[in-house]
């Protein structure tokens, strides 16, 4: 019998370890700053490969921070289970410090708006588009004021508007929506979650609760999805017979959006 890959590997590094937690032991503010600086330099020097690598690393750092905030991620097939152990105070303090540096400092280092603004079809790989969607998904989860674990006030609706200012944002999600049949379930979930946030984001109550879209009076940002490209993609989604649960969520979004447009 051939030994499994995890045999002979210390528990701390084997399949029973939770990868993002182990990553936290290797990172600090300087690692994060270096990652963000590398991404900024690559964008300025128009080096797409280096930019994609830096964004991929930043995605993993965000997932590591999310792991301490939200606990076990059993749905992540590329992660092992954390188990029932609570995050220790040291790692939790590191995570909070990182979040302060990226999102809450007077000169926040959040790179997502710039990364999305510089995205363009044909300039980068699909993998990079998926990474940006995952970064946006993790970021909005970490900042969601409805999350009881989020003890810092944050205007998520205003942040969403900031992300939507560049035309590239909806182009990015439109491209991923068009590719729903070849996307992984995780990517389709990221697309659904973001577009759903757009559909329910209020126009006038930037700090208030969520309200359903209305076709009687424009109250939300849902009309941003009233584009030929999205309607064509929604029609393709509605014709999908794969039975995938994430595609079913996209179908619900498509049907809702088309119904409100009528």
d(CA 192, CA 249): 7
Q: For residue range 167-196, what is the model confidence (pLDDT) as tens digits? A: 999 999 999 999 999 999 999 999 999 999
- The first and second tokens of residue 3, run together, are 């030994």
Q: What is d(CA 239, CA 223) in angstroms, rounded to the nearest whole number?
A: 23
pLDDT tens, position by position, 139-155: 998 888 776 566 677 88
- Percent of the residues in the chain that have a pLDDT greater than 70, as a whole number: 73
Determine which of 71-85, 127-141, 167-181 has the lowest per-residue pLDDT on average. 71-85
Neighbours of 241 (CB within 10 A): 6
**Is residue 9 over pLDDT 80?**
no
Sign for the CA dihedral angle at 42, 44, 47, 48 comes to: positive
The Cα 257–Cα 230 span in angstroms is 10
Q: How many CB atoms lie within 10 A of CB 114?
A: 14
pTM of the model: 0.79
Among left, alpha and beta (phi > 0; psi -120 to 50; other), residue 73 is beta
Question: 156 Cβ partners below 8 Å, 6+ apart?
Answer: 140, 143, 144, 145
pLDDT digits 0-9 by tens, 197-250:
999 988 764 344 455 555 457 788 999 999 999 999 999 999 999 888 999 999
Using left for φ > 0, alpha for ψ between -120 and 50, and beta otherwise, residue 243 falls in left
What is the maximum span of the chain, computed from C-alpha positions, in angstroms?
67
pLDDT at position 10, please?
A: 41
Spatial contact of 129 and 119, defined as CB atoms under 8 Å apart: yes
- Which DSSP category does 75 fall into? T
Q: Give the residue from 101, 85, 95, 111 showing the smallest Cα distance to 63.
A: 95
Residue 45's CB is within 10 A of a number of other CB atoms, namely 9
Count of H helices and E strands in the chain? 11, 0
Burial class (CB in 10 A: 0-12, 13-18, 19+), 97: middle
Is residue 28 within 8 A of residue 54, CB to CB? The reply is no
């Amino acid at each position: 019998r051939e030994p499994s890959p995890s045999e002979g590997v210390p528990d701390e590094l084997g399949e029973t370890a939770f990868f993002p937690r182990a990553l936290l032991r290797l990172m600090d503010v300087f690692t994060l700053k270096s990652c963000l600086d590398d991404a900024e330099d690559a964008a300025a020097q128009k080096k797409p490969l280096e930019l994609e690598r830096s964004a991929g690393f930043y995605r993993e750092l965000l997932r590591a921070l999310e792991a301490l905030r939200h606990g076990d991620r059993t749905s992540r097939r590329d992660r092992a289970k954390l188990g029932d152990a609570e995050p220790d105070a040291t790692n939790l303090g590191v995570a909070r410090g990182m979040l302060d540096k990226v999102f809450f400092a007077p000169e926040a280092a959040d790179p997502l708006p710039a990364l999305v603004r510089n995205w363009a079809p044909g300039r980068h790989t699909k993998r990079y588009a998926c990474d940006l969607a995952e970064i946006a998904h993790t970021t909005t989860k970490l900042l969601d004021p409805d999350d009881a674990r989020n003890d810092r006030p944050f205007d998520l609706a205003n942040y969403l508007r900031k992300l939507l200012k560049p035309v590239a944002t909806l182009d990015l999600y439109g491209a991923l929506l068009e590719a729903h049949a070849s996307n992984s379930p995780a990517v389709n979930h990221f697309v659904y979650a973001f577009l759903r946030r757009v559909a329910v984001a209020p126009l006038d109550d930037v700090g208030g609760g969520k309200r359903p879209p209305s076709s009687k009076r424009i109250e939300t940002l849902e009309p941003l999805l009233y584009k030929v490209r999205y309607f064509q993609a929604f029609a393709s989604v509605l014709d999908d017979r794969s039975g995938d649960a994430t595609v079913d969520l996209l179908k619900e979004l498509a049907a809702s959006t088309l119904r409100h447009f009528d």
